Amino acid sequence: MPISKILIANRGEIALRVHRACRELGIRTVAVHSTADADAMHVRLADEAICIGPPPASESYLSIPNIISAAEIAQADAIHPGYGFLSENAHFAEIVEEHRITWIGPSPEHIRTMGDKVEAKRTAAALGLPLVPGSDGPVATAEEGLKVAAEVGYPVLVKAASGGGGRGMKVVPDAASLASLMGQAKAEAKAAFGDDTVYIEKYLGNPRHIEFQIFGDGQGNAVHLGERDCSLQRRHQKVLEEAPSPALSAAERARMGKVCADAMAKMAYRGAGTIEFLWENGEFYFIEMNTRLQVEHPVTEMLTGLDLVREQIRVANGLPLSVTQDQVRFQGHAIECRINAEDPRSFAPSPGLVTDYHAPGGLHVRVDSALYAGYRIPPYYDSLIAKLIVYGDNREEALMRLARALEEYVIGGPRTTIPLHQALIEDPQFRAGDYSIKWLENWLADR
């Protein structure tokens, strides 16, 4: 039986994004929401809505019993987790499947493997992906750490196996500071993730962050949908993403894309995934894999013309991917700005009432946002309130269009990062595509 009703286990712009794909497929939607989100756009638009708890995410969007109960009450036949929240929780995926509800995502086993970074690196190496040189597994003691670091050369990076969002990472400049910094990384990892397992990697001085979008049908077929350059980061959080990467040639894309697609075919991966690499001096180094839809997926949709949520639903229905690798086209240039309800200089959160709202439009402009005039941005969740994505025949045209779209965008009430993006895209180095993962932090410090 094909999926006819999907419960969307998320909120904000991504809940709306999934709803839109469902409606276009004639699939009914069930929104779940906390009491803080009763007036949310996805709640208003969904066919049904169920309140799953109070504002704290731990008691609503992260509550497995509440979400499963909602799915049973609504008789949803599938769950789409969006990104964040429970999207990479293997235990949740298992419980969904145990309830005979279709999980729109990879197998729980693959989620679990890729969620443990040490295990992910082992798997990636076995699948033929190039790694950052480092420890072959966890590093338990400072003596072991010193040995690994001496082999790969300083500086090294101590990273938490259960890490996320850049937490539990320490750069170690020399042998003298290794023991104390490794101790700090372990303590931070224990506090943040309840797991003090760490591993060591060579610290790359000035890389770019380039990731490949992949898709598998779970039957041993997989394609890559090209790369996204996500080097513009603040505190390891992506700020602006673009494709194609200004640093990559078509030949490099095809070569590395094939390596990724072959790896995913070999593991019979199901659904959407992103393989993240650092890229320096023409070399790729695997850092992690995300087993879900990414925030920045629209950039890929603009270039390829594919609807990634629709593909996810196809694959969950047991259908093949709608394209073969030969049929995937990469055309033009796309850029996404993440717009947050934050002060554009201090980055202090700025939730509250949206008094006016006017989204930009026109040719090749896409806004993924759940905002509307009169909406009150709750203070409990992520500060991402909108994604502005533009497309152009080439990078120059995309940048011109982005500037005019940012200029048109009116969000009255909260402070937003729109002015930050406006300043950023005027910078000559950015315009030249000449930036690494260090660039934005330096640029912000110089402002």
Q: Which residues contact 143 (CB under 8 A, 6 or more apart)?
A: none
Residues whose CB falls within 8 Å of the CB of residue 339, separated by 6 or more in sequence, listed in order: 369, 384, 385, 386, 387, 388, 409, 411, 416, 417, 418, 421
Which of 65/165 has CB closer to ligand ADP?
A: 165
Query: Residue 287 or 334: which CB sits closer to ligand ADP?
Result: 287
Task: Give the nearest distance from C-beta 94 to ligand ADP in angstroms.
Answer: 22
- Shortest separation between residue 42's beta carbon and ligand ADP, angstroms: 26
CB of 202 to ligand ADP, least distance (A): 6
Mutual angle of helices 64-74 and 90-98, in 10-degree steps:
30
Catalytic residue (choose from 11, 17, 253, 292): 292
Helices (H), 75-225: 90-98, 108-115, 117-126, 142-152, 178-193
Q: CA–CA separation, 442 vs 422, rounded Å?
A: 17
Q: CB of residue 393 vs ligand ADP: minimum separation in angstroms?
A: 29
Q: Which residues bind ligand ADP (CB under 6 A)?
A: 132, 157, 163-166, 201, 203-204, 209, 233, 236, 276, 278, 287-288, 437
Instruction: Name residue 336's beta-bridge partners.
Output: 241, 389
Min separation Cβ 441 and ligand ADP, Å? 10
Beta carbon nearer to ligand ADP, 40 or 185: 185
Q: Is omega for the bond preceding 155 within 30 degrees of 0, making it cis?
A: yes
Q: H or E element: which one contains 420?
A: helix 418-424
Residues in the chain: 447
Burial 388-401 (b: 16+ CB within 10 A, else e): bbbbbeebeebbeb
Active-site residue 447, yes or no? no
Contacts of 310 (CB under 8 A, 6+ apart): 21, 24, 25, 322
- Residue 360, number of CB atoms within 10 A of its CB: 18
Given the complex with ligand ADP, which of 71 and 263 has the nearer CB atom? 263
- Least separation in angstroms between residue 79's CB and ligand ADP is 24
Residue number, 23 or 234, with CB nearest to ligand ADP:
234
The tokens describing 274, both together, are 């992103």
Do residues 73 and 7 touch, judged by C-beta distance below 8 A?
A: no
Nearer Cβ to ligand ADP (3/114): 114
**Strand pairing report for 270-280 and 283-290:** antiparallel
* Beta-carbon count within 10 A of 133 CB: 15
Give the nearer residue to ligand ADP in terms of CB position, either 37 or 227.
Answer: 227
Based on the number of CB atoms within 10 Å of its own CB, is 373 exposed (0-12), middle (13-18) or buried (19 or more)?
middle
Least distance (Å) between residue 137 CB and ligand ADP = 16
CB of 278 to ligand ADP, least distance (A): 6
For ligand ADP, the closer of residues 164 and 352 by Cβ is 164
Angle, in degrees to the nearest 10, between helices 108-115 and 90-98: 170
Catalytic residues: 292
